[in-house]
A = this chain, B = another copy of it.
Amino acid sequence: MPKLGMEPIRRASLIKATIAEIGHAGTLEVTVSRIAKRAGMSSALAHHYFGSKEALFLAAMRHVLTLYGAEVRGALAAADGPEARARAVIRASFSPANFRREVVAAWLNFYVLAQTRPEARRLLTVYQRRLLSNLSHALRPLLGGGAGPAAQGLAALIDGVYLHAALGAAAPDGAAAARQAEAYLTAMLERRA
């Protein structure tokens, strides 16, 4: 039943299955076979399209990152004024698409991987820089020289909230998480004012 033009479809379902499987297992120690099975194909095909397990996982993270980036850009475009821009970045970080259990689990494992694999580290650095730059640009008009440290703190807080979400018993609550991060922002701004 092979059809032509399968490649993009296969790639997409493998990426989706990778996230799902890692989210389900909570670990990077999922077999390629399991992922492939979930995506409805044999493990050999997964290797055919991605070359290696690690490449598959990195592709999945790249996908997550792309979605996140798009969401942030969209929210920023719709935001009016510096404070709204900062809040937009926060809300995008905790949007339903990004703050799903599986995605958060993937992030957590991605962090671990980034400690040793240069390619993962590179990808992570891109994300961190972008987030930091978005935040400090938004905060600069409000906090001036204090924008850098405030952005740094906010970035750490966002990652911390992600971490807690990965470990919480209940399903992650994006709205509550966003409120938590926004409280920090509010405190920082009021302090200045």
Residue positions of A touching B, CB distance < 8 A: 25-27, 105, 108-109, 111-112, 114-116, 121, 124, 149, 152-153, 155-161, 163-164, 166-167, 180, 183-184, 186-188, 190-191
What are the nearest 10 A-B pairs in CB distance?
A160-B160, A26-B115, A156-B160, A187-B187, A159-B160, A26-B116, A157-B157, A156-B161, A187-B191, A159-B163
B156 touches A164 (CB 8 A): yes
Taking A156-B164, A188-B187 as contacts, is the C-beta distance between A149 and B180 under 8 angstroms?
A: yes
A108 touches B105 (CB 8 A): no
Which chain B residues lie closer than 8 Å to A156 at the CB level? Answer: 157, 160-161, 163-164, 180
- Residue ID in chain B nearest A162 by CB atoms: B160
Within the complex, the shortest CB–CB distance from A179 to chain B, in Å, comes to: 9
Taking A105-B115, A111-B166 as contacts, is the C-beta distance between A153 and B184 under 8 angstroms?
A: yes
A163 touches B111 (CB 8 A): yes
B116 touches A108 (CB 8 A): no
Which chain B residues lie closer than 8 Å to A187 at the CB level? Answer: 184, 187-188, 190-191
- Residue ID in chain B nearest A185 by CB atoms: B187
A167 touches B25 (CB 8 A): no
- Residue ID in chain B nearest A28 by CB atoms: B112
B188 touches A27 (CB 8 A): no
A27–B112 Cα distance when bound, in Å, is: 7
A188–B180 Cα distance when bound, in Å, is: 12
B26 touches A166 (CB 8 A): no
Which chain B residues lie closer than 8 Å to A149 at the CB level? Answer: 180, 183
A180 touches B167 (CB 8 A): no
Taking A108-B115, A160-B160, A160-B161 as contacts, is the C-beta distance between A152 and B180 under 8 angstroms?
A: yes
